[in-house]
Amino acid sequence: DAGVIQSPRHEVTEMGQEVTLRCKPISGHDYLFWYRQTMMRGLELLIYFNNNVPIDDSGMPEDRFSAKMPNASFSTLKIQPSEPRDSAVYFCASTYRGSNQPQHFGDGTRLSIL
Amino acid sequence: GENVEQHPSTLSVQEGDSAVIKCTYSDSASNYFPWYKQELGKGPQLIIDIRSNVGEKKDQRIAVTLNKTAKHFSLHITETQPEDSAVYFCAAQGNTPLVFGKGTRLSVIA
């Protein structure tokens, strides 16, 4: 049974470059979440989708961040332009029916902006 | 909105001893409380969850207790083993998406 799949696992790039993180949720799940994890701030919810529609993006830190979900099996998180303070581990998670159901996490993308 | 506090931030125990991690939450509407284990280089993995209609749930060496009146819940790991070493997160959910605690780094010393 395939879990949540994220790519790439690691990304190193220079500041100012565009970064695109990808996520494939578990088949049949209708909610998808993007999180950012840092030592200082822990796990922060950036945005979540229900049936491919963005529901709450209040956690997106700046206009440099954008997320899309063109279909039920694919989502992207884009940072343009990237800055060193964006360095973190980014996780995608999915669940079925959303409320009071366990979220299943991918193994994350470790992003380093030089 | 919901706020989840988790203690301690680090915990070291001898192999075979018990470990207890405690969390408090602020929103009385929260009714779902999962616990996640995160190993190095991996995403958080659900290990146990509890809903507000029960006060305790057990799965082998892991148990979770919930006190809705006091708004706190705890994770208990008995007979700890080296493979229990990881970061553990509590979370709470009600009318808003899951809110996570800051995590507890558990080290089990052989």
Q: pLDDT tens digit string along B26-83?
A: 999 999 999 999 999 999 999 999 998 888 999 999 999 999 999 999 999 999 999 9
Site of tokens 């553990």: B88
Q: To the nearest whole percent, how much of chain A has pLDDT over 90?
A: 88
DSSP B82: G
Q: Do the Cβ atoms of A110 and A11 come closer than 8 Å?
A: yes
Q: Residues 9-38, chain A: which have Cβ within 8 Å of B?
A: 33
Q: What does the alpha-carbon distance between residue A43 and residue B97 come to, in Å, rounded to a whole number?
A: 13
Mean pLDDT value of segment A67-93 = 97
Q: Do the Cβ atoms of A65 and A19 come closer than 8 Å?
A: no
A82 touches chain B (CB under 8 A): no
Is residue B10 over pLDDT 90? yes
Q: What does the alpha-carbon distance between residue A19 and residue A17 come to, in Å, rounded to a whole number?
A: 6
Q: Which residue of A has its CA nearest to B38?
A: A107
Mean pLDDT value of segment B12-21 = 98
Site of tokens 């809110």: B99
Strand bridging mode A53-56 / B62-67 = unpaired
Distances B77 to A42, A84, A97, B57, B88 between C-alpha atoms, Å: 23, 38, 30, 12, 11
Spatial strand order of the sheet with A74-79 comes to A5-7, A19-24, A74-79, A65-71
Mean pLDDT value of segment A39-67 = 94
Least-confidence region, from A12-21, A80-89, A96-105, B27-36: A96-105
Is residue A98 over pLDDT 70? no
Site of tokens 């899309």: A68
| Tally of CB atoms within 10 A around A36 | 22
Cα torsion B109, B79, A105, A9: sign: positive
Is residue B18 over pLDDT 90? yes
**Which residues from A are below 8 Å from B36, CB to CB?**
105
Q: How confident is the model at residue A11 (pLDDT cuts 50, 70, 90)?
A: very high
Q: Which residues of B touch A (CB under 8 A)?
A: 31-32, 34, 36, 41-46, 49, 51, 89, 93, 97-103
Q: How confident is the model at residue B95 (pLDDT cuts 50, 70, 90)?
A: confident
Distances B15 to A98, B22, B59, B83, B89 between C-alpha atoms, Å: 37, 20, 19, 10, 21
Cis peptide before A8 (omega within 30 of 0): yes
Q: Do the Cβ atoms of B93 and A100 come closer than 8 Å?
A: yes
**Which residues from B are below 8 Å from A106, CB to CB?**
43
Beta bridge partners of B10: B105
Please tell me the predicted confidence (pLDDT) of residue B77. Answer: 98
